[in-house]
Homo-oligomer: A and B are copies of this chain.
């Protein structure tokens, strides 16, 4: 197995990316890791001997977070994400992992790898931590205006991912909506409901926003705009609440002492909520494995994303999706 890692993408690139790759290389001696990027910025992190299963691949350009994705991908043909994706296309790598611009990664995958036949638009699937384990939400931002047919394709792909990668038997598929009854919602969800009801899936009907953090569906299907808002709202609210807790439970001496005693409990919750545990989010529907990491990924997140990439290869994710699509 050979995994191309975009060394230049992410808020903490290249340092955290390289650190994560180093740990992954040590843990998985049989996996070949290819760090793609500007050699002069990568090499300083290899003061000792470079592990045998890490190689460097030069890419002279970098796509910044605020560049227009499609334009940047077309213009910067020697950028790390474009080069890393090309390695997959050429069969020189089996997967790509990046924490850089999501839009650029998506554009690279679409232009470089293309779509799986039968999938109109790829989806970004992300794992939301809940007390019932990680649950899959898709799409969280690949496709802003989806059709009912596309939502139904997301459900199919999400079903495979939840079953094979998250290891949830017979995953419960829920349609994100504003009410639980059939007939609720906008034109898109009303039509998608009918399609999902008829699909060979464990479709449990509509799920509301409040159901999602409780983990009441294993796969939550929605269009990219809504999924993005849901995910970021959850992220923001968790951030605000932990910030408030930290402040309020240490605001006087008595509370500070109490805080010491309850801290391990709060840490358990923070760990449960830590997206880094689940590694990256796969871009589902393209002809190759492309794992999207959070922009703020640390070494642990990169390590886990590399693990996810390996698992996707092991279960032959792309072939599985092809097989499950209606003929």
Contacts and interface: CB of A to CB of B under 8 A. Distances in A.
Interface of A: 66, 130-131, 141, 144-145, 176, 178, 181, 185-187, 189, 208-214, 222, 224-226, 228-241, 243-245, 248-251, 254-255, 257-262, 264-266, 268-269, 272
Contacts of A178: 141, 144, 224-225, 228-229
A258 B262 contact: yes
Contacts of A257: 258, 261
Contacts of A248: 262, 265-266, 268-269
Contacts of A255: 261-262, 264-265
A146 to B, nearest CB: 10
A277 to B, nearest CB: 15
Contact of A229 (B130, B230, B251, B265): B230
A130 B236 CA distance: 11
Contact of A237 (B144, B238, B251, B266): B238
Nearest to A272: B244
A140 to B, nearest CB: 9
A229 B176 contact: yes
Nearest to A230: B233
22 contacts: A66-B181, A145-B187, A178-B229, A186-B225, A208-B232, A209-B232, A209-B236, A210-B233, A213-B233, A213-B240, A222-B229, A233-B233, A233-B234, A241-B269, A245-B266, A248-B265, A248-B268, A248-B269, A249-B266, A255-B261, A255-B265, A262-B262
Contacts of A186: 144-145, 225
A66 B184 CA distance: 11
A133 to B, nearest CB: 13
A131 B239 CA distance: 12
Given A210-B233, A214-B236, A233-B234, A269 B254 contact: no
A176 B228 CA distance: 11
Nearest to A258: B261
Nearest to A183: B68
Given A185-B144, A209-B230, A241 B240 contact: no
Contact of A233 (B209, B241, B262, B272): B209
